[in-house]
Each structure stands twice: as structure tokens, then as C-alpha cells.
Amino acid sequence: MDEEQLRIFVGLVQFYFEHEGGEAAAVGSPFLGEPDALPVMDYTGVIGISGSRRGCVYVTSSRKLLQALLEFMGETDFSEANYADLAGEIANTISGNARQHFGHEFMISVPVIVHGHSTDIRMPNQVKAYVIPLHWRKFEAALVVSLE
């Protein structure tokens, strides 16, 4: 991963929130995350990457952010299942859109949803994980990208 590639993900996540949430997410300074201290919030959508690149991309969000986003989208179903669904769809959309930049061989998995502050997210060994902090309205989320 280089700075240019990191900028691609920043642009994609801003576009997602601008389109689906009416205003772009404010992006904090990206940083290199420690493997055992990566951010994990209430709901996390994890996408495995294979093909031309290997690794994973995940978006982790507070429940309040997802609730506000669902409200903005006109959803009336605020079930646990719909929070999880939205967490997965955010990660899926950002990862899928990345193929415009990384090419057709940038293969993405279906999203895996992790609830709560789990340690079940398996990051690639020996690969740096970049954390992009996000603030949308007054709520927090983070995009984590770890690609060989």
C-alpha cells in the first residue's frame, strides 16, 4: 500500500457517505494500526480480498452512526439484522468500488459481519494495516485497509 492507494480508499469512503448520508464523512489522519489494537466498534463489515491483491478491508461503525444512516436512507427497520446488513453493505460498496482503481482481478468476498468488540477479525500476517478514522455528523467509524 502506498499513499496514492490510501487516498483511493479515502475518496471512496467519502463518496459513500456523501451519496448515502447526504454529507461526506470527515476523514481524520490515517495511521498505521498496531495488529493487536485495531479499532473495532459495535458493527464491523469485513471483506476478504484475493486475486491481484491479498488481504482485507473492513469498516467498523458505532451503532449510533448506523442508526442515523438508516434514518437518513428512509429505513424504518432498526433491527439488529439491519444494522449488521448496513455494516456489510458499506464495506461491500467501498471494496467493490475500489476495483475501478485496482483492476478486475481485485476480487472481493461477500461481507462477514462481526458484532461488538470481538477479536475474531483475522488480519493478514506481516502486512501493515492502515486505519482511516471517520466522522460522519457527530458519529464515529473507521476504515481499515490491510493489503499485501
Site size with another protein, rule: CB under 8 A: 28
Which residues make Cβ contacts (< 8 Å) with residue 130, sequence separation at least 6? 1, 6, 30, 31, 32, 33, 144, 145, 146
| Strand ranges for the chain from DSSP E | 26-27, 31-33, 43-51, 55-61, 106-108, 112-115, 129-136, 139-147
The whole-angstrom separation of Cα 73 and Cα 70 is 5
Kindly tell me which residue out of 8, 20, 27, 52 binds another protein, with binding defined by CB under 8 A.
Answer: 20
Q: Considering only residues 92, 129, 144, 145, which one is a binding residue for another protein as defined by CB under 8 A? A: 92
Choice from 29, 36, 37, 104 touching another protein (CB under 8 A):
104
How big is the chain by its Cα radius of gyration, in Å? 14
99-132 in b/e burial notation, b at 16+ Cβ within 10 A? eeebeeebebeebbbbeeeeeebebbeeeebbbb
Q: Mask: binding to another protein, 45-84, rule CB under 8 A, as x and -?
A: -------------------------x--xxx-x---xx--
Which listed range, 53-61, 99-107, 114-122, 137-145, lies at the site for another protein (CB under 8 A)? 99-107
> Residue 99 interacts with another protein (CB under 8 A)?
yes
Tell me if 14 contacts another protein by CB under 8 A. no
Minimum CB–partner distance for residue 15 and another protein (Å): 8
Site for another protein in 107-146 (CB under 8 A): 108-110
The contact set with another protein (CB under 8 A) reads: 15-16, 19-20, 70, 73-75, 77, 81-82, 85-86, 88-89, 92-97, 99-100, 103-104, 108-110
